[in-house]
């Protein structure tokens, strides 16, 4: 067998190994410039009661999780059980940022699938999401007691991310 | 019930595909006629089952059956009927089903139109196509079942992605897939020939029309995608070097090389191993394209189709299909003869040169597409290779290709004299330089890059004209009319397709150099002037669509005081998915497009309005249409049909001789 006829195969094996390595990587895992920086300030009406306003500073002194979601977002539905499991399994509150959604639709969604959120705030025009550098729903942030962003995940969280990344981090930040 | 029927049909199709993939191939190896003859009915049955399955999914969409998860995700009761049908391939699962439908369609076409092929050969071809089908059916059934139920049913669907709610997008994926999947035919022919050891000129002649047909579909598919991006994304660009676009362009480049290489193999028996490799590569790149688009390893504007979980399965499929066929190539290709010899300056060497350049071009696109991924895999950070890379590397590669494109048709097979060639082309070369400079001058400015582009376009035109004149010049007492009739249709096809490249190059050069783009803040009554056209902005009003609301702008265009067009660009918000969509207003003309799209509303009732002047932009797609037309002419050449008749009579004579002896 002449070697030059093996060349295409060899090139392909190389390519395939890169593709295999690429599969393990996540193109969505874009380093956020916000990590290590204070979370942007916000004051938004609560989803369940528009008369009440919730601010970033209300949460100072607590470690908390911010989950950006919307009732129209299919991947949110996919990650929903993991968010529920996260909220139930440890004491840090999960705050929902309801992104560009309609109040009725959002509340129906929560009523039907279960509400994991200590509170949800309504970001109807997406302004706060822009401050947080959100570029796709869902996204998940972990914010420490001083209000600093410590972790960000773009796209639906998986059981793996909840168990291996978020929960250890919450424990480390000393809930 | 309908969904379950579709699912069942798909499962049965998998069973039939397994039979189609195994029995005929074993039959060919053991020379069992009955086993081999199973290939055709198996292909036809499989096709029927897949059609049934596809019809079931379509019915679920038409009936708004939101208890089917895929329908609920991609449709809505307010969606117009035509888009409900198009929504069948609006998502991942349905696209795969469409892929399989096309594959079974091509398989049946091969089964029905290749009656003149020897039984073992056709058995192997259909067997290989059966295996491809098995792979994709398994992929669909295991990871991406379109018939999965959603219980309880959703009250209404999440609607089709608004980007896809557009006539261009309705036909773009089917065309593209016809091309992608069509290369599976060339691939199957190549694998069957490698297994059977009958790689020869006849094999090349049988493969040619199929390859050209697939290439035509791919050309049209890519052109439609580009046209869609032009008017739907609202940026006025027609090509973005986006990974998804690249993954359709790579098989096209290799397919183009394959078409030309097959010509040499058929005429001269040369490049056999290379041609087979190209056939494998063209289909492999189609598979790779599917992997890149479907697995989510790369981010792209088309990222709505991604899902990392499915990546592993496609990668496995890729490794088995491509790795297997390349291993087969490494094992069998060394036994293929080299064919007839040729000199350094000959049509063979020029076609080989172009072949290599096209593959190099494909390699640079592949590199640019995968480079970010490779860097990421090596832990060197995340980067993005944008249009600057491709623009820089592509021009230097295309220039020699276009030059050779003009020369090669005039060169003789085996050996040609360089001085003779130069003498015959001297008029074409001179006219090219003059015409290129003149075009720039007429357009208003002579720029180096545009002159190079125009030069390429005119070089193709003038060398084609030289070729045509030499062919038609009356000789041996024949009239011009008789000479015209003697030009074979495949030759006419080649000329039309090359003219398409010229048209394309002309359009690209014009748009890139002389296009004007302006982003303006406009209040009602504001006007702007470009290239002699005066655009007057009249304001924005709200309009209602079937499933969206829109802000519709009104821009009046005049030239020398006369009304040219009334343009109504829209900014739509689709009710269900809530994302804003730009609907540009375009006034298309033979020599220019006027393009207006709405940006954002700003304070004081003003809007950001994008006003573009695009000279000769339709020539870009017109060129693609000419290429596809040329391909269609070449593929329908009588010679391929004649070959069939010849083969039948040949077989008949063989039988007659056998009977006589």
Q: B497 and B529: one domain?
A: no
Q: Which residue has the higher pLDDT, B306 or B378?
A: B378
Residue B643 lies in a domain: no
Domains of chain A (ranges; CATH) run 29-172 (3.40.30.10)
Please check the confidence at residue B413 and state whether its pLDDT lies above 70: yes
Residue pair B629/B496 in contact by the 8 Å Cβ criterion: yes
- CB-nearest to A22 from B158, B297, B333 is B297
A contacts of B311 (beta carbons < 8 Å): 23
Candidates A1, A4, A8, A25, partner chain B, best to mutate (most B CBs within 10 A): A8
Q: What is the pLDDT of residues B544-583, one digit of tens each?
A: 988 888 999 999 999 998 999 999 999 888 887 776 788 8
Query: Distance, in angstroms, between A73 CA and closest chain B CA?
Result: 8
- CB-nearest to B334 from A1, A31, A72 is A1
Q: B488 and B478: one domain?
A: yes
Residue B645 lies in a domain: no
Residue B434 lies in a domain: yes
Q: B543 and B470: one domain?
A: no
Task: Answer whether B334 touches A (CB < 8 Å).
Answer: yes
What is the phi/psi pair of residue A11, to 5°? -60, -40
- CB-nearest to B370 from A1, A18, A27 is A18
Average pLDDT over chain B, rounded to an integer? 87
A contacts of B373 (beta carbons < 8 Å): 18-19, 22, 25
SS3 B234: coil
Q: B356 and B381: one domain?
A: yes
pLDDT at B444: 85
Please indicate whether, in this complex, the C-beta atoms of A72 and B382 are within 8 angstroms of each other.
no
Query: Global pTM?
Result: 0.80
Residue B633 lies in a domain: no
Q: B583 and B508: one domain?
A: no
SS3 B112: helix
Q: From CA B154, how far away is CA B208, in angstroms rounded?
A: 49
- CB-nearest to B327 from A9, A25, A74 is A9
Question: Which residues face A45 on adjacent strands?
Answer: A53
Please indicate whether, in this complex, the C-beta atoms of B315 and A23 are within 8 angstroms of each other.
yes
Domain count along chain B: 4
Please check the confidence at residue B391 and state whether its pLDDT lies above 70: yes
Task: Answer whether A111 touches B (CB < 8 Å).
Answer: no
Q: Is B31 exposed, middle or buried (0-12, 13-18, 19+ CB in 10 A)?
A: exposed
Residue pair B209/B236 in contact by the 8 Å Cβ criterion: no
Which residues, at least 6 apart from B133, have a Cβ–Cβ distance to it below 8 Å? B13, B17, B20, B21, B46, B100, B103, B104, B107
Rg (CA), chain B: 27
Nearest CA among B124, B98, B140 for reference residue B198: B124
Query: Distance, in angstroms, between A24 CA and closest chain B CA?
Result: 9
- CB-nearest to A22 from B284, B329, B373 is B373
Task: Answer whether A28 touches B (CB < 8 Å).
Answer: yes
Q: B137 and B268: one domain?
A: no
Task: Answer whether A3 touches B (CB < 8 Å).
Answer: no
Please indicate whether, in this complex, the C-beta atoms of A23 and B273 are within 8 angstroms of each other.
no
The residue out of B160, B184, B206 marking a domain boundary is B160
The residue out of B126, B160, B194 marking a domain boundary is B160
Which residues, at least 6 apart from B459, have a Cβ–Cβ distance to it below 8 Å? B402, B403, B406, B428, B429, B432
Please indicate whether, in this complex, the C-beta atoms of A26 and B308 are within 8 angstroms of each other.
yes
Q: How confident is the model at residue B222 (pLDDT cuts 50, 70, 90)?
A: very high
Q: What is the pLDDT of residues B631-647, one digit of tens each?
A: 999 999 877 765 444 44
Task: Answer whether A1 touches B (CB < 8 Å).
Answer: yes
Residue B648 lies in a domain: no
Nearest CA among B548, B524, B505, B497 for reference residue B606: B524
Task: Answer whether B322 touches A (CB < 8 Å).
Answer: yes
Mean pLDDT, range B610-626, rounded to an integer? 95
Residues 556-585 of B with CB under 8 A from A: 576-578
| Alpha helices per DSSP H over B269-346 | 272-295, 308-318, 324-332
Q: From CA B36, how far away is CA A47, in angstroms rounded?
A: 67
Nearest CA among B518, B535, B544, B520 for reference residue B602: B520
pLDDT at B629: 97
Q: B55 and B180: one domain?
A: no
Classify residue B322 by its DSSP letter: I
Classify residue A73 by its DSSP letter: -
Please indicate whether, in this complex, the C-beta atoms of B323 and A9 are within 8 angstroms of each other.
yes
Pairing of strands B592-601, B585-588: antiparallel
Q: What are the E-state strand segments in B490-628?
A: 516-522, 527-530, 533-544, 548-559, 562-567, 570-574, 580-583, 585-588, 592-601, 607-615
Tokens of A128: 């706060």
Task: Answer whether A108 touches B (CB < 8 Å).
Answer: no
Please indicate whether, in this complex, the C-beta atoms of A18 and B382 are within 8 angstroms of each other.
no
Closest chain A residue to B336, measured at CA? A5
Please write down the long-range contacts of B388-393, taking CB distance under 8 Å and 24 or more positions apart. B389/B241, B390/B241, B390/B364, B390/B365, B393/B364, B393/B368
Q: B352 and B460: one domain?
A: no
Please check the confidence at residue B223 and state whether its pLDDT lies above 70: yes
Residue pair A125/A100 in contact by the 8 Å Cβ criterion: yes
Task: Answer whether B295 touches A (CB < 8 Å).
Answer: yes
pLDDT at A135: 62
Q: What is the pLDDT of residues B88-143, one digit of tens each?
A: 998 888 989 999 999 999 999 999 998 888 999 999 999 999 999 999 999 999 88
A contacts of B91 (beta carbons < 8 Å): none
Q: From CA B94, how far away is CA B61, in angstroms rounded?
A: 11
Q: What is the pLDDT of residues B168-216, one digit of tens each?
A: 778 888 898 899 999 999 999 999 999 988 888 889 999 999 999 999 9
Classify residue B310 by its DSSP letter: H
Residue B382 lies in a domain: yes
The CA-CA-CA angle for residues A6, A11, A14, to 5°, reads 125
B contacts of A15 (beta carbons < 8 Å): 370
Please indicate whether, in this complex, the C-beta atoms of B326 and A100 are within 8 angstroms of each other.
no
Q: Containing domain of residue B206, as a range?
A: 175-416
Which residues, at least 6 apart from B120, have a Cβ–Cβ distance to it below 8 Å? B27, B28, B31, B36, B196
Candidates B319, B324, B337, B362, partner chain A, best to mutate (most A CBs within 10 A): B319
Q: B350 and B209: one domain?
A: yes
- CB-nearest to B315 from A16, A30, A72 is A16
* CA end-to-end span of chain A: 65
The residue out of B367, B391, B416 marking a domain boundary is B416
ipTM above 0.90, yes or no: no
Closest chain B residue to A125, measured at CA? B578
3-class SS shares of chain B: helix, strand, coil, % to 5: 65, 10, 20
Q: B395 and B428: one domain?
A: no
Classify residue B560 by its DSSP letter: T
Ranges of residues in chain A whose predicted pLDDT is under 50? none
Please check the confidence at residue B654 and state whether its pLDDT lies above 70: no
pLDDT at B464: 95
Q: B304 and B412: one domain?
A: yes
Residue B436 lies in a domain: yes
Tokens of B312: 């592993």
Residue B644 lies in a domain: no
- CB-nearest to B334 from A5, A31, A72 is A5
């Amino acid at each position: 067998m002449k070697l030059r006829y093996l060349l295409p195969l060899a090139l392909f094996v190389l390519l395939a190994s890169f593709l295999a390595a690429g599969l393990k990587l996540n193109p969505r895992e874009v380093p956020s410039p916000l990590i290590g920086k204070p979370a942007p300030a916000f004051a938004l009406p609560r989803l369940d009661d528009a008369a009440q306003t919730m601010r970033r500073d209300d949460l100072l002194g607590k470690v908390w999780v911010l989950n950006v979601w919307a009732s129209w977002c299919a991947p949110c539905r996919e990650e929903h059980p993991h968010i529920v499991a996260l909220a139930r399994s440890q004491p840090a509150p999960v705050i929902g940022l309801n992104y560009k959604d309609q109040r009725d639709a959002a509340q129906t969604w929560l009523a039907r699938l279960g509400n994991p959120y200590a509170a949800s705030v309504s970001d109807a025009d997406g302004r706060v999401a822009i401050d947080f550098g959100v570029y796709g729903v869902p996204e998940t942030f972990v914010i420490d007691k001083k209000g600093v962003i410590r972790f960000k995940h773009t796209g639906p969280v998986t059981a793996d991310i909840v168990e291996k990344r978020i929960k250890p981090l919450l424990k480390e930040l000393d809930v | 019930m309908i969904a379950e029927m579709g699912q069942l049909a798909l499962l049965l199709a998998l069973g039939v595909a397994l039979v189609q993939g195994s029995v005929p191939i074993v039959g060919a190896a053991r020379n069992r006629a009955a086993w081999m003859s199973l290939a055709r009915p198996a292909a036809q049955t499989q096709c029927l089952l897949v059609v049934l399955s596809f019809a079931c999914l379509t019915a679920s969409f038409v009936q708004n059956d939101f208890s089917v998860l895929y329908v609920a995700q991609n449709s809505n009761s307010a969606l117009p009927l035509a888009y409900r049908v198009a929504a069948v391939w609006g998502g991942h699962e349905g696209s795969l089903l469409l892929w399989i439908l096309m594959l079974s369609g091509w398989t049946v076409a091969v089964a029905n139109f290749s009656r003149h092929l020897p039984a073992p050969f056709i058995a192997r071809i259909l067997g290989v196509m059966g295996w491809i089908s098995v792979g994709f059916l398994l992929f669909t059934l295991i990871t991406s079942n379109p018939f999965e139920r959603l219980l309880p049913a959703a009250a209404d669907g999440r609607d089709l992605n608004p980007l896809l709610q557009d006539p261009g997008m309705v036909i773009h994926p089917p065309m593209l897939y016809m091309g992608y999947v069509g290369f599976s035919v060339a691939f199957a022919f190549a694998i069957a020939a490698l297994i059977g050891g009958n790689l020869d000129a006849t094999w090349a002649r049988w493969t040619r029309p199929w390859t050209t047909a697939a290439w035509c579909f791919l050309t049209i598919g890519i052109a439609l995608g580009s046209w869609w991006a032009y008017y739907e994304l609202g940026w006025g660009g027609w090509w973005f070097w986006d990974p998804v676009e690249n993954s359709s362009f790579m098989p096209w480049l290799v397919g183009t090389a394959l078409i030309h290489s097959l010509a040499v193999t058929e005429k001269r028996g040369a490049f056999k191993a290379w041609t087979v490799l190209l056939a494998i590569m063209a289909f492999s790149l189609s598979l790779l394209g599917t992997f890149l688009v479907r697995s989510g390893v790369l981010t792209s504007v088309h990222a709505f189709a991604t899902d990392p979980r499915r990546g592993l399965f496609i990668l496995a499929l890729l490794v088995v299909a491509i790795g297997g066929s390349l291993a087969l190539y490494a094992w069998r290709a060394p036994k293929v003869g080299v064919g007839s010899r040729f000199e350094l300056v000959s049509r063979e060497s020029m076609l080989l040169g172009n072949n290599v350049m096209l593959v190099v071009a494909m390699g640079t696109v592949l590199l640019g597409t995968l480079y970010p991924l490779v860097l990421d895999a090596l832990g060197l950070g995340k980067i993005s290779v944008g249009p600057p890379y491709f623009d820089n590397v592509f021009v230097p590669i295309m220039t020699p290709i276009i030059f050779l494109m003009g020369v090669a048709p005039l060169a003789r097979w085996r050996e040609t004299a360089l001085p003779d060639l130069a003498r015959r082309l001297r008029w074409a070369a001179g006219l090219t330089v003059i015409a290129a400079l003149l075009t720039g001058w007429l357009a208003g400015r002579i720029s180096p890059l545009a002159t190079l582009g125009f030069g390429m376009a005119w070089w193709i035109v003038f060398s084609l004209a030289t070729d045509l004149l030499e062919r038609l010049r009356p000789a041996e007492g024949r009239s011009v009319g008789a000479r015209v009739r003697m030009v074979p249709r495949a030759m006419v096809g080649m000329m039309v397709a090359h003219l398409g490249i010229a048209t394309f190059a002309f359009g690209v050069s014009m748009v890139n150099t002389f296009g004007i783009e302006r982003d303006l803040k406009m209040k009602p009554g504001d006007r702007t002037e470009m290239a002699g056209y005066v655009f007057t902005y009249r304001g924005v009003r709200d309009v209602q669509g079937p499933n969206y609301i829109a802000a519709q702008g009104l821009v009046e265009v005049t030239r020398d005081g006369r009304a040219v067009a009334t343009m109504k660009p829209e900014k739509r918000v689709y009710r269900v998915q809530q994302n804003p969509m730009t609907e540009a207003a375009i006034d298309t003309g033979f020599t220019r497009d006027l393009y207006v799209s709405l940006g954002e509303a700003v304070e004081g009732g003003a809007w950001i309005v994008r006003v573009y002047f695009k000279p000769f932009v339709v020539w870009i797609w017109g060129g693609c249409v000419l290429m596809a037309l040329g391909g269609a002419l070449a593929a329908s050449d009588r010679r391929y049909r004649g070959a069939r008749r010849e083969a039948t009579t040949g077989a008949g004579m063989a039988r007659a001789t056998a009977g006589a002896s």
